[in-house]
Amino acid sequence: MGYVKAETILPNNLIKELQKYIQGEYVYIPAQSDTRKKWGEKSGNRTYIQIGIKILSENI
C-alpha cells in the first residue's frame, strides 16, 4: 500500500468536500473488490507456497 498526495490526483472541489469530514489525517481508500489481488499474488509468495505444498504432497 502506498501513499499519494491528494493534490496530485483529486480535483480541488473533492478535496474541499473531504476536508469537511477530516483534515490532516490519513484516509484509506480500498481497491474495488473486482480489482483486488489475493494475498501473496503481488509478491509471488502465494505461488511459492503452492509449489512447496505440491512438492511436499508428491513426496509423501
Mean pLDDT, residues 40-59 taken together: 90
Residue 27: domain span: 6-58
DSSP classification of residue 36: P
**pTM higher than 0.85 for the full model?**
no
Q: Is residue 1 one of the residues assigned to a domain?
A: no
The model's confidence at residue 41, banded by pLDDT at 50, 70 and 90, is confident
The model's confidence at residue 8, banded by pLDDT at 50, 70 and 90, is very high
**What total of structural domains would you count in the chain?**
1
- At residue 1, the pLDDT reads 67
Instruction: Give the phi and the psi of residue 48 in degrees, each rounded to 5.
Output: -60, -45
Cell 509478491 sits on residue: 43
Q: Which three cell numbers stand for residue 12?
A: 480541488
